[in-house]
Amino acid sequence: MNTSNPTTSDHWIATPQGRLFARSWTPAAPTDGRAPIVLLHDSLGSIQLWRSFPAALAAGSGRQVIAYDRLGFGQSDPRSDDIGMDFIEEEAAMYFPLVLRHFGLQRFVAMGHSVGGGMAVHCAARHADACQALITESAQAFVEDRTRAGIVEAKASFQHEQAFARLRQYHGDKARWVLDAWTETWLSPAFAPWSLDQVLPLVRCPTLVMHGGDDEYGSPQQPERIAGLVGGPAQVAIMPGLRHVPHREKEGAVVDRIASFLATAIPPRQVSS
């Protein structure tokens, strides 16, 4: 593993609705031709909340890693509208292509955490010719009772000012919008029928499905559904004793698992930028 600190650079990406903030991590000695990994964050996430993981992943995989704050999150511009029930698919259709264009990516690896995993699925399906591999971490494939129960508990915890203040650290004045976009969408009866069932078969690339064995927002049925329905080869990695954020709880093990998967899943003839 390359332990040198990757070089970081910050970017602003224009969209018709506002600017996206993005950051890239380039390893000190990147392996030529390896497609970058693009990260999609969770419902309360941001670039800052990935913490040390992108740098560790860049060093461990020998690949450039790119993350961006979705519109309304982190340092990206705010949104004044309510997100629609199709917001997961919308990310892949409307915003992700602008990220690819900004960085000039002809090939990429899509990785998403939690709801970002569902977005990564849509990105891999919509851009099937360019996506060399898909990685989901703690992703939901359908609305499960455990998912809703976890959100209800989290929503109650944010009634305490100390918890909400932590959210403001990462999203500033957008924090209330960010919280409501998560809780009110996922708990809405209109969202209950949502699933990835129709899009998963369109994913043709190799897929790694990671999930904590004690994930409070999804049972093992979630990774099983993803791996069982994707159109390409899939591996499931259930990580015992871990909860919803394996990359924070056991960063090194997650980086090693991803690096090993990518080293074997992408044939040398596909290695290109």
- What pLDDT score does 270 carry? 56
* Any domain includes 33: yes
- What pLDDT score does 81 carry? 85
Counting the structural domains of the chain, the total is 1
* CATH code of the domain containing 28: 3.40.50.1820
- What pLDDT score does 98 carry? 98
Q: Is 0.85 surpassed by the pTM of this model?
A: yes
* Any domain includes 193: yes
pLDDT by 10-residue block (mean), the chain, 273 residues: 78 97 90 89 98 97 97 96 94 98 97 98 98 98 97 95 95 97 97 98 98 97 98 98 98 98 82 48
* Any domain includes 55: yes
* Any domain includes 135: yes
Question: Which letter, b or e, does each residue of 206-231 get, where b requires 16 or more Cβ atoms within 10 Å of its Cβ?
Answer: bbbbbbbeebebbeeebbebbbebbb
* Any domain includes 103: yes
* Any domain includes 188: yes
The whole domain housing 216 covers: 7-266
Residue 247's nearest CA partner among 86, 174, 239 is: 239
- What pLDDT score does 33 carry? 81
- What pLDDT score does 82 carry? 84
* Any domain includes 273: no
* Any domain includes 2: no
- What pLDDT score does 128 carry? 97
- What pLDDT score does 1 carry? 44
